[in-house]
Amino acid sequence: MKVAKHWRETPERYRLEAGKCKKCGHINFPGRLVCPDCGTKEFEMIRLAGKGKLETYTVIHTAPDGLPTWRPMQLVLLNWMKE
């Protein structure tokens, strides 16, 4: 499998699709196999609105081993809105 093709075919990356737990309603982005809140394995796919609220962020200036060129790295946690 080519990496470029894999990324194009990953729906949650380009269409912002997330898994919504059918039991408790928890939204997982990216999707998971098991809900972290209730442990069920049943999800429905929903589309996120493409906007959200910035919850927190960090900047990493010392990269992990094996990623020396990825400096500085910015990591962001967003609370996505549903469409």
Indicate the pLDDT class of residue 6, thresholds 50, 70 and 90. low
Please return the burial class of 28, using the count of CB atoms within 10 Å of its CB with bins 0-12, 13-18 and 19+. Answer: middle
Q: What is the pTM of this model?
A: 0.57
Q: pLDDT tens across 20-48, in order?
A: 999 999 988 778 899 989 999 999 988 88
Give the domain ranges of the chain: 3-82
**Looking at residue 61, what is its pLDDT?**
84
In this prediction, residue 51 carries a pLDDT of 77
The answer on pLDDT for 50 being more than 90 is: no
CA distance to 27, 37, 62, 63, 75, per residue, from 66 (Å):
32, 33, 11, 8, 18
